[in-house]
Structure 1
Amino acid sequence: MFFSLPQQTSIAQILQFPPSYYPSSSPSLFHRNLNILGRHRKIAILNHGRIRSAIATMAAACSYRPPSIKFPSLADLSPYLQSEWRPILTGWLCSAVSVYSLSKLVPLAGQLSSSIAVSNLASLRNGALALGALLLIRIVANYLQQACLWDAALNCAYNIRVHVFDRVLQRDLGFFEGGNGILPGDVAYRITAEAEDVADTGHSLLNTIVPSVLQLSAMATQMLTISPQLSLIFCICKEVVIPAMALTVGCLGEKLRIISNEANLCTASLAAYLNEVFPSILFVKANNVESNERIRFLLFASADLSARLKKKQTKDIGKAYNELKQGEPAIERLFNLTLFKSQLIEKSDAVDLASVTGEVKVCGLYFSYRDGMAPVLNGLDLHIKAGETIALVGPSGGSILIDGCDIQNIRLQSLRRHVGLVTQDAVLFAGTIAENIGYKDLLSGVDMERVRFAAETANADGFIKCLPDQLAIARALYQNPSILILDEATSALDSRSELLVRQALQRLMQDRTVEVIAHRVETVLMAERIFLLRDGKLQQLSHSDLGSLASGLVI
């Protein structure tokens, strides 16, 4: 949804936008971005009492308080890292070789300088060859270490991305309709960009655990060899220095975790906004609100810039710990997509439908949009015979039976395999027209004969490129379902195209059960039986009755 605002009040009016239009950032960040815009437009926003109150309200709505627990996401990441134990173990072995070669390089370099001082050419030659060999071994070992650990980290991120995508596909439709406050652009950002952050975090973690311990051990050994006295002094000093450093790094790491989460939210909000505004550019231009959309973009972009600047200033201090803290919000946000309980639970004794004749029974169906509202459907009973076309007309618990089997007792995949759907909003997937029609068999191989038959049956073979609705009908026909649901399938068509579709539907109705949802009387009159839905009850009408009542009905 977009707003049409007068130019002279665009800044103040922005404060009336719902919180979902703003990045979920801290109050200070929200105030700062509005200050930036105020200075840019020469408007003293914060000096106005009503606007200041609106800012406080919006800031409270947009505030974010991260949890105080430490590394809660490592438990989620651990199983995926464990599955990559082979490249991880190989990388750590290469790290051990690298550290060992480094421990030999230092004393050998000292011996080489002594050989130069005494002009011992044989010893100098042997020492130089050994030094070069150790240096080459260290370079190769370092390369293999990084290659193996990156292989493990990227495979870990890949497996997480696949798991999250699978879980998102299993979520209920309400999740994709915006009821949970997560926009589709945010979901896409988490699965793409934030999965890369998880890979960076995993590599940093793997590159720190064993390699750092090995390097510290090698350094301690060298110190004891060179000067036991200095090593003793260092051990005394470390009791004070190391805890202080750990405390400082820990505080900065927790701060970076908050900043990183803020930056991720800002970037996700910016991506979601762009995914919203560009597909609706016709509406934006038609309402002459380009300037308003520019200001909205400035809000999102300035929030993203501010968060990234804060992140950049903090992350280089205590690099390893802070990189883990930086990636922790990405891990949390990714796995949050997998934490849900489906509202549609398949029964353990659900059955598969081998074949369907098309008989549908609706028994005692109740429905209301919200709790406390009058039911839209009140004990609805309806019997649709196989191959029969039924139309429901009337103002806009129970059960539905197909061939005598309650759909709640049918496995979902089996039910969907026998039901085709054509919606009001036609969806086009990337690919050819044939791939769009044969979408069901896209991976296993599209049957071109079925594609041609479906296109011809839908009267779409001649002009399918310019009419997505016909393509959507052909896609449903390609599935060859026993029951076909047409949800406003002809609402976006012109008169000529609708006539062609109705002719196609007449052919389809001869051997299929078709349920048509439509607002046009002509489409309803195609039904063999017509029922009036009024006060939650059904009353059968004749075609002539529909003609006399049509003016007072919402079809």
Structure 2
Amino acid sequence: VGEVVQRFFHRFIPSVLTILAVVAYLFYLNGILTLTTLVIAPLMGALISWFGDRLLLRSRLNQESMSDLSSLLTEAFAGISLTRAFAAEEYEIRRFSAMAENNRLARFQTEQVKAIQDPVVGFLYAMSVLGVFWVGGWQISEGNLTGSQFLGFIAGVAMLIDPIVHITNNYSELKQGEASVERIFELLDTRSQVRELPGARPMPPIQGWVEFEQVSFAYKPDQPVLKRISFQVAPGEIVALVGSSGAGKSTLVNLIPRFYDPQEGCIRIDGIDIRTVTLKSLRRQIGIVPQEITLFSGTIASNIAYGQEDFDLEAVRQAARVANIDSFIESLPDGYATRVGERGVTLSGGQRQRLAIARALLLNPKILILDEATSALDNESEALVQEALQRLMQRCTVFVIAHRLSTVRSAHRIFVLEQGQLLEEGNHRELLSKGGRYAQFHWRQFQ
């Protein structure tokens, strides 16, 4: 797009102005010859436009194939360890070769249209010049034009060659650039489905009351994920969400920071409908530890204090102590200034998850969401995290998603979700005594 804009102002516009000036000069010299020169211009313009439409179509395919190829390369490099583990090098090479060939064919078709356009437009221009010579010779024989006048006119016609070539080529590049611009504005015009209401006010400091009232949600209209969920959670309460995969556990907690809005029902925090407050003021008071941990290639301290340019190192240390990772960080040669590498490759899975917990704790949240936060921890690390959670119990509301029931036994309440519905509710002992769905999960894991 940058190249197209540069050429548009440096070549296309000057070429158009040059043609207008030269044509005006040619009309001044001889109107009949000028009309002869321009008689083929409409056909030439129609052909250039037709070729431009073909180029736009080919360029769209070319851009899409290049995007697919880039995505494949990103996946291949990110998953190189898995590729080696499965001895799939040849498979990846074949995938890349096939997609690269598709990209080559798409680019070839684009260049093919341009290659056909140039000689066709050149032939029409040559026919126009031939007509000028024929009409000019006839006017000279009739005594209406002198030889010097005709040579001056031909010199003017010659001045049109470069501008016409530039316009033809630049128009082709403009159509190619249009395909890029379409993709850019398609992204820029995308709007989040979650929007702040006009006049949304900042969320005041929250205590941690969470209320779901008849909440229903679906990613697709005909496939509900949550069905009329209602519950209330008090500040400082630890709530565990249990259920089979696809039951709606992650979706439920993602509604709290308004990553999505429910189609029906209302979600309140401290009695305030979360749709009436600004997103930033809401999310800055909610700590989240996702299942897939994302670390950046900075220092350990900057990763814990993510999103804060000027952070208090002592506050970072305190968050790390609560997350039971301070001693590990201090054992590193550079301590909190140790660089973690791209995506945290220098750390183990358990260490990355405890860093993510420390990152969430640094916000001093009143609501903490742990989405499978102990999935990559060994027994010792899990015990450390459980100890950290016990420290948090008195100062924030915690939502825990876990498939391993050993991590949820100490929760104040356990919600059992099944096919988007709240099937059971109670603490560990109560649910076991009921002999329902939770008891079945427990029996399968601890039989």
Give me the TM-score of the superposition, normalised by structure 1: 0.58
Q: 1:383 to 1:293 in 2, by over 3 A?
A: same
Q: 1:522 to 1:203 in 2, by over 3 A?
A: same
Q: Distance in 1 between matches of 2:362 and 2:46?
A: 64
Select 2:272's aligned residue among 365, 382, 405.
405
**Counterpart amino acid of residue 460 in structure 1:** I
Q: 1:208 to 1:417 in 2, by over 3 A?
A: same
Q: Distance in 2 between matches of 1:523 and 1:496?
A: 12
| SS of aligned partner of 2:302 | helix
Q: Distance in 1 between matches of 2:7 and 2:267?
A: 54
Specify every segment of 5 or more residues in structure 1 that has no aligned partner in the other structure, as ranges: 1-197
Indicate conservation of the 8 Å contact 2:424/2:431, yes or no: no
Q: 1:275 to 1:350 in 2, by over 3 A?
A: same
Alignment of 1:130-279 (within 5 A): 198-208=1-11, 210-216=13-19, 219=22, 228=29, 231-232=30-31, 234-279=33-78
Q: Distance in 2 between matches of 1:334 and 1:543?
A: 52
Which residue does the alignment assign to 2:296? 429
Which residue does the alignment assign to 2:312? 447
Is 2:441 the counterpart of 1:553?
Answer: yes
Q: Distance in 1 between matches of 2:13 and 2:233?
A: 69
Q: Distance in 2 between matches of 1:205 and 1:424?
A: 48
Which residue does the alignment assign to 1:468? 352
Which residue does the alignment assign to 1:307? 106
Alpha-carbon shift at residue 214 of structure 1 (Å)? 3.9
| SS of aligned partner of 1:439 | coil
Q: Distance in 2 between matches of 1:245 and 1:299?
A: 38
Alpha-carbon shift at residue 313 of structure 1 (Å)? 4.4
| SS of aligned partner of 2:78 | coil
1:225-271 CA-to-partner distances (Å, cap 9, x unmatched) read: 9xx4xx55640321324334323322322222222222211111100
**Counterpart amino acid of residue 344 in structure 1:** V
Alignment of 1:32-47 (within 5 A): none
Q: Distance in 2 between matches of 1:252 and 1:372?
A: 44
Specify every segment of 5 or more residues in structure 2 that has no aligned partner in the other structure, as ranges: 119-167, 248-263, 330-339, 341-346
| SS of aligned partner of 1:426 | coil
1:344-401 CA-to-partner distances (Å, cap 9, x unmatched) read: 243335332121111112222234565555x664433322111122223345333222
Q: Distance in 2 between matches of 1:238 and 1:430?
A: 64
Select 2:228's aligned residue among 371, 379, 387.
379
Q: Distance in 2 between matches of 1:248 and 1:473?
A: 63
Select 1:320's aligned residue among 170, 174, 194.
170
Indicate conservation of the 8 Å contact 1:487/1:518, yes or no: yes
Q: Distance in 1 between matches of 2:423 and 2:199?
A: 32
1:398-445 CA-to-partner distances (Å, cap 9, x unmatched) read: 322211112222222221111110001100123222221111214xx2
Q: Distance in 2 between matches of 1:477 and 1:299?
A: 47
Which residue does the alignment assign to 1:497? 381
Which residue does the alignment assign to 1:131? none
Which residue does the alignment assign to 2:371? 487
**Counterpart amino acid of residue 393 in structure 1:** V
Select 1:458's aligned residue among 307, 316, 323.
323
Q: What is the identity percentage for the equivalent residue pairs of Structure 1 and Structure 2? A: 40
Indicate conservation of the 8 Å contact 1:424/1:488, yes or no: yes
| SS of aligned partner of 1:498 | helix
Alpha-carbon shift at residue 447 of structure 1 (Å)? 2.7
**Counterpart amino acid of residue 511 in structure 1:** R
Select 2:429's aligned residue among 539, 544, 548.
544
Alignment of 1:32-111 (within 5 A): none
Alpha-carbon shift at residue 528 of structure 1 (Å)? 2.2
Which residue does the alignment assign to 2:131? none
Which residue does the alignment assign to 1:115? none
Select 1:365's aligned residue among 215, 234, 238.
215
| SS of aligned partner of 2:35 | helix
Q: 1:338 to 1:221 in 2, by over 3 A?
A: closer
Q: Distance in 2 between matches of 1:387 and 1:250?
A: 68
Q: 1:542 to 1:457 in 2, by over 3 A?
A: closer
Which residue does the alignment assign to 1:388? 237
Question: Over aligned residue pairs, what C-alpha RMSD do you find?
Answer: 2.8
Q: 1:238 to 1:489 in 2, by over 3 A?
A: same
Give me the TM-score of the superposition, normalised by structure 2: 0.71
| SS of aligned partner of 1:500 | helix
Alpha-carbon shift at residue 552 of structure 1 (Å)? 0.7
**Counterpart amino acid of residue 421 in structure 1:** I
Q: Distance in 2 between matches of 1:433 and 1:220?
A: 68
**Counterpart amino acid of residue 356 in structure 2:** A
Q: 1:448 to 1:322 in 2, by over 3 A?
A: same
**Counterpart amino acid of residue 267 in structure 1:** M
Q: Distance in 2 between matches of 1:507 and 1:513?
A: 12
Equivalent pairs counted in the alignment come to: 351
Q: Distance in 2 between matches of 1:320 and 1:533?
A: 60
Indicate conservation of the 8 Å contact 1:380/1:538, yes or no: no
Alpha-carbon shift at residue 218 of structure 1 (Å)? 5.3
| SS of aligned partner of 2:324 | coil
Q: Which has the higher strand share?
A: 2
| SS of aligned partner of 2:328 | coil
Indicate conservation of the 8 Å contact 2:415/2:422, yes or no: no
1:455-476 CA-to-partner distances (Å, cap 9, x unmatched) read: 2221123435522111111111
Alpha-carbon shift at residue 300 of structure 1 (Å)? 0.9
Select 1:329's aligned residue among 167, 174, 179.
179
Which residue does the alignment assign to 1:4? none
Which residue does the alignment assign to 2:201? 351
Indicate conservation of the 8 Å contact 1:315/1:323, yes or no: no
Alpha-carbon shift at residue 299 of structure 1 (Å)? 1.4
Q: Distance in 2 between matches of 1:410 and 1:423?
A: 23
Indicate conservation of the 8 Å contact 2:23/2:34, yes or no: no
Is 2:413 the counterpart of 1:529?
Answer: yes
Indicate conservation of the 8 Å contact 2:287/2:361, yes or no: yes
Q: Distance in 1 between matches of 2:242 and 2:366?
A: 23
